Amino acid sequence: MPIDLKQLAAYDTPTICNTVELFEVRPRNGGYMDGRIRACFPEMPPAVGYASTATIRCAFPRLEGDVYASLDEQTARFAEFPGTPIVVFQDLDDPAVAATFGEVMCSAYQAFGAAGIVTSGAARDLDQVRRLGFPAFSDGTICSHGYSHIVDLHHAVRVGGMTVHPGDLIHADANGVATIPIDIAPDVAQAAAEYAAAESIVLDYLRSGKPATPAFAEARRAMLAEIAALGERVRSKRGR
């Protein structure tokens, strides 16, 4: 079954994380980046795509070749993925000494079809990248690019305490960055709609007027029952 990235992007990343938990395919404390990785532009909608992984260094010059030569190869290799890519960088400098990306790199990634960028390092040119409407996630900001150069492409990287493999499905928004296991991804969007509907039982009650404890408890039980039933359905569909 094909994966509808636009449908997945209709939901925030916490809802996606909650929904993935129902499938019981990974531990609840895995599959998402830690608090070091934050949205540069929290106002932007979710970004969804396949991880185009890379490592980068900025602390010393590239030994040979053009600093931007790997950028050409990187954008050309976007075609290896079945859909929209998201660039995911591991900064090999510890701590980061310069920015991973700025306006030129983000403009290139966007022009070649990427949905966003995630880095364990720093960002710069925030005003310019915001104007592009290009979602970006980083561990802070640094004004200079130093000796920025890409070291390698499409290997496993470690970002925000999470290992990301080339082609992993990324979902990211103001709340953080997570992965969606590929084998359940076609079912996650539909299940996310049902999860949100279950939560609305409590939310609609709380918005309806002055709440009362007994009725609130009843609404909460109804929500939990709907979520439990949804979990049973999605797991049984997968033969679990």
What's the mean pLDDT when you consider all of the chain?
94
Shared-domain flag, residues 191 and 95: no
| Burial grade of 213 (CB within 10 A; 0-12, 13-18, 19 or more) | exposed
- The pair of structure tokens assigned to 156 is 């496993």
Residue 205 one-letter amino acid:
Y
Residue 150 one-letter amino acid:
I
- The pair of structure tokens assigned to 33 is 């980046």
Choose between 212 and 35: higher pLDDT: 35
- Say how far apart CA 110 and CA 80 lie, in whole Å: 16
What confidence category does residue 240 fall into, taking pLDDT thresholds of 50, 70 and 90? low
Residue 13 lies in a domain: no
What confidence category does residue 144 fall into, taking pLDDT thresholds of 50, 70 and 90? very high
Question: What does the pLDDT read at residue 64?
Answer: 65
Shared-domain flag, residues 121 and 217: no
Shared-domain flag, residues 143 and 219: no
- Say how far apart CA 59 and CA 142 lie, in whole Å: 13
Q: Is the pLDDT at 88 greater than 70, yes or no? A: yes
- Say how far apart CA 87 and CA 126 lie, in whole Å: 17
The whole-number average pLDDT for the span 197-211 is: 92
Q: Give bridge partners of residue 181 from the DSSP assignment.
A: none
Residue 4 lies in a domain: no
Shared-domain flag, residues 191 and 173: no
The whole-number average pLDDT for the span 1-18 is: 94
Residue 131 lies in a domain: yes
Shared-domain flag, residues 101 and 171: yes
Residue 16 lies in a domain: no
Q: Which of 37-41, 199-203, 236-240 has the lowest mean pLDDT?
A: 236-240
Shared-domain flag, residues 122 and 213: no
Q: Is the pLDDT at 145 greater than 80, yes or no? A: yes
Shared-domain flag, residues 143 and 52: yes
Cut 0.85: pTM above it: yes
CATH of the domain at 127: 3.50.30.40
Q: Is the pLDDT at 66 greater than 60, yes or no? A: no
The answer to whether the beta carbons of residues 10 and 189 sit under 8 Å apart is: yes
Residue 11 lies in a domain: no
Residue 100 lies in a domain: yes
Shared-domain flag, residues 136 and 88: yes
Give the residue numbers spanning the domain of 227. Answer: 186-237
The answer to whether the beta carbons of residues 53 and 153 sit under 8 Å apart is: yes
Residue 221 lies in a domain: yes
153: part of which helix (H) or strand (E)? Answer: strand 149-153
Question: What does the pLDDT read at residue 65?
Answer: 54
Domain end point (choices 180, 196, 211) = 180
Shared-domain flag, residues 164 and 59: yes
Shared-domain flag, residues 141 and 198: no
Q: Is the pLDDT at 63 greater than 60, yes or no? A: yes
The whole-number average pLDDT for the span 35-54 is: 98
Shared-domain flag, residues 164 and 201: no
Dihedrals φ, ψ of 103, to 5°?
A: -65, -45
Domain total of the chain: 2
User: How many angstroms separate the Cα of 5 from the Cα of each of 10, 16, 70, 84?
Assistant: 9, 12, 27, 8
Question: What does the pLDDT read at residue 237?
Answer: 85
Residue 138 lies in a domain: yes
Q: Given its phi and psi angles, is residue 172 left (phi above 0), alpha (psi -120 to 50 degrees) or beta?
A: beta
Q: Is the pLDDT at 69 greater than 70, yes or no? A: no
Shared-domain flag, residues 153 and 215: no
Question: What does the pLDDT read at residue 15?
Answer: 98
The whole-number average pLDDT for the span 97-110 is: 97
